[in-house]
Structure 1
Amino acid sequence: MPAEQVRALGRSLTGRAGTVDDVRGRLVDDGDVDGPLRTPVELLLDRHRLLATALAGELRWLGSTVVGIADAWVRLDAGLLLPVPHDGPGR
């Protein structure tokens, strides 16, 4: 897989973290549920917000790690390639 495709994958993962952040922002208790279900709904939303926070953090970490690996591959390849001698003027 070319390094640029790996970088694109990393950027996509990081971008998905933003999507998860948006979803977390919509997990709010608008007070639409009253009575005996109110507390369970609050707990459900709280747990889902916590999960979304963790998922967004993991996606950001994974995205930056994937990009870092692609960059490391490029540096490693550059270090393994021998310079090509030039037979130009003066040689």
Structure 2
Amino acid sequence: KFLAVKFESNGDFLYRFTLQIKRIRILTSDDCRQKNLSLSETNICRPYIDSNILLTWHSAENFDEYCLAYIFTARDFGDGTLGLAWMGSIAS
């Protein structure tokens, strides 16, 4: 489903490529009080959640139409985590 992507490079940096954002979902405190949230959104809205669990619930959403999916948060994780990522593959 994904097209081959060619990037131009000068050896150090990639250039002449574009980025298209197809969907943005912002969950505010008010949104988290709504009844029509998906199961993963409901769990993401929990006030106390481990960084790994947050990533697990985020990845439960359907991102089949996208090559990248990000979650940004203003949470302060108790374990000092600043960032967490899972690597995907073509088969997954």
TM superposition score category, shorter chain reference: under 0.3
Given the two structures, how large is their TM-score scaled by the length of structure 1?
A: 0.22
**Structure with greater strand percent:** 2
Instruction: Specify the structure having the higher radius of gyration (Cα).
Output: 1
Greater RCO (CA < 8 Å, at least 6 residues apart) = 1
